[in-house]
Chains A and B, each alone.
Chain A
């Protein structure tokens, strides 16, 4: 078991514990991810776990993320605040984190899929892109 948070000064003690005894959720969650990978392989079923819906003890989220680690793909989405889309060292297991403008996490999901849907170009955006490229080519024939 790790130590109680270090007191800031000789006299004042902060009573916020960082005990390993508290971490009861890490293993079950990793097993859930393993089962989700299994059904991705067998049936192509994708899964999403909302980390904010699980009553995690202090430090547990970090331990889950540390265990999953980082893999080959790390993408950033800059819209309505930053989003990070990271493939973990386990291919097919992604961590998607949405931040607000102040840099606070507003939601965090573990997605078990070959590609989180937020990374794919959306049909509506592709159609809008087609129109605007067509318009740009028509209007700026000389400069392009």
Chain B
């Protein structure tokens, strides 16, 4: 991943040569030249399948595809962002297996991670674009300010100009984080910089949205790995998110769901219900309207996720999550019907969950329109 970034003493031209010789090799050839056995490669493929949220039955296909995969050039642009997404990514490849994947891409420009700065960094980006025109992968985190280009510039280039220029030769774009995918926090009401998402500006390239504030590390690596493995973009939902990671709501996969279905809710953060691990819906959980992989992929090397730690989901992978009317406000109170439905049939209970999800979505939209601020009362509620 960090070839160009680690080779601090080499000139951009030397680095291009170095990259070219490496890009010529398939991943299988690279691994064999490092003395990695076929058995280890299978282990690598099994971990990769799990990371990409694919069925273990896909392992032979992944092995075949990875064997023949070539190392793509990656250009990573950061605009109006907090660097949380890069922090998340760099937590992901601590493991040997994941670092093998990242050794298999050529990260040619990332202004937080690279040693070069200013014009030397921009030169690296231009060379990578020229050498890999039409083939490189563009990753973007952060939103783009449209009010005044001066709000955010890199080497004197406005975010808008840099995005449009770099996008031209990209094979595909991965928007990482809720800011790049939907505008995120900079876009929150009253959106002082006129922040927009990548998808608002670019209409003629495949864009994969990987939202989250930040996204789960293995989801970022999983999407990059999918592109590396199959050379194509995964199946996306109606707002551009890969279905394998964002196909189900937090609520659908939440281990507290049986309590929700029985109508057992924590009312405060320290009541008996909270201690018994009951559903956090009444404490403002946005799980029913939020699509993300937290409940299975989890955080901190698979340790747990916010709901497991006793905090409601705040819906960070959804558009306008910041304007949803308060993190600790339940969007709508579940009615007695939910408990009754749960008593009739499990399928009925699931249907009630879906209906409530729909109800919540409209409630959330009206809350967003009214833009109610989160007050100290909400936090203390």
Contact = CB atoms under 8 A, between A and B. Distances in A.
Given A52-B50, A118-B43, A109 B56 contact: yes
B346 to A, nearest CB: 11
Given A13-B270, A54-B296, A80 B53 contact: no
Interface stretch (B79-87, B119-127, B185-193, B300-308): B300-308
Nearest to A57: B255
Interface string B340-361: 0000000000000000000000
Interface residues of A, number: 45
B309 interface: yes
B199 to A, nearest CB: 29
A53 interface: yes
Contacts of B256: 22
Contacts of A141: none
Contacts of B236: none
Interface string B88-110: 00000011111010000000000
A123 B254 CA distance: 42
B308 A58 contact: yes
A122 interface: yes
B42 interface: yes
Interface stretch (A63-71, A86-94, A100-108): A100-108
Contacts of B55: 50
Contacts of B59: 48
A107 B37 contact: no
Contacts of A123: 38
Contacts of B308: 16, 57-58
Given A58-B304, A107-B47, A122 B42 contact: yes
B94 A102 contact: yes
Given A24-B255, A50-B50, A98-B43, A15 B269 contact: yes
Given A50-B50, A107-B47, A15 B97 contact: no
A124 B302 contact: no
B39 interface: yes
B57 interface: yes
Given A15-B275, A100-B94, A102-B95, A107 B46 contact: yes
B95 A81 contact: yes
Nearest to B31: A80
A96 B59 CA distance: 14
Contacts of B94: 100, 102, 104
Contact of A104 (B42, B296, B301, B310): B301
A143 interface: no
Interface in B241-277: 253-256, 258, 269-270, 274-277
A55 B42 contact: no
B43 A19 contact: no
Interface of chain A, main secondary structure = loop
A77 interface: yes
B97 A100 contact: yes
Contacts of A98: 43, 46-47, 97
A11 interface: no
A53 B68 CA distance: 27
A106 B295 contact: no
B44 interface: yes
A80 B296 contact: no
B44 A80 contact: yes
A58 B270 CA distance: 19
Given A15-B275, A104-B301, A55 B254 contact: yes
A139 interface: no
A39 interface: no
B40 interface: yes
Nearest to B305: A55
Contact of B50 (A19, A53, A124, A125): A53
Contacts of A118: 39, 42-43, 46
A80 B255 contact: no
Which of A4, A50, A106 has the most chain B CB atoms closer than 10 A to its own CB? A106
Interface in A93-138: 96, 98, 100-102, 104-107, 109, 117-118, 121-125, 128
| Pairs A-B, 4 closest by C-beta atoms | A100-B95, A48-B56, A122-B38, A17-B277
11 contacts: A22-B258, A52-B297, A57-B277, A77-B43, A79-B36, A80-B43, A81-B97, A101-B95, A105-B301, A117-B42, A122-B37
Given A83-B43, A98-B47, A124-B38, 13 more contacts: A22-B256, A50-B55, A52-B297, A58-B304, A60-B255, A79-B37, A80-B97, A100-B94, A100-B96, A100-B98, A106-B97, A107-B46, A121-B39
Interface of A: 1, 4, 13, 15-17, 19, 21-22, 24-25, 48-50, 52-58, 60, 77, 79-81, 83, 96, 98, 100-102, 104-107, 109, 117-118, 121-125, 128
